[in-house]
Amino acid sequence: MLMADLLSLCLRIGELAFTAVVAGLTGQYLHQHKGTSAWNEKRFIYTEVIAAIGILFSLLFLLPFMTSFLHWPMDALLFAGLMIAFGLLAHVCPPPYYHK
């Protein structure tokens, strides 16, 4: 049981760190482009909201009385939300195609 608790703690700290990085980078982009149209910013606002929810729940689940894997449905929803955010952001600036 101790190994499961340590694994849960490590994964939760990783989730907190990664969602904080996503929130910071997205917030910086939104700050730099605050004069553009709202249509272009919708996907970034969605990403910022999902990252904020991820930070909130990772901090909540780090509390000592939440040391179990019983909250995996919320983790699954956050994972799906972050994958949707990645898909939305991947189409903002597609990679260039190199022709030889």
pLDDT digits (tens, 9 = 90+) for 11-50: 889 999 999 999 999 999 888 888 777 767 888 899 999 9
Do 44 and 30 contact (CB within 8 A), yes or no? yes
Mean confidence (pLDDT) of the chain: 83
- Encoding tokens for residue 99? 């022709």
| Encoded amino acid at 67, one letter | T
Give the span between the Cα atoms of 45 and 66, in whole angstroms.
29
Q: Reduced to 3 states, what is the DSSP secondary structure of residue 94?
A: coil
**In the predicted structure, residue 93 carries a pLDDT above the cut 90:** no
pTM: 0.80
Say yes or no to pLDDT of 96 above 90.
no
- Identity of the amino acid at 27: G
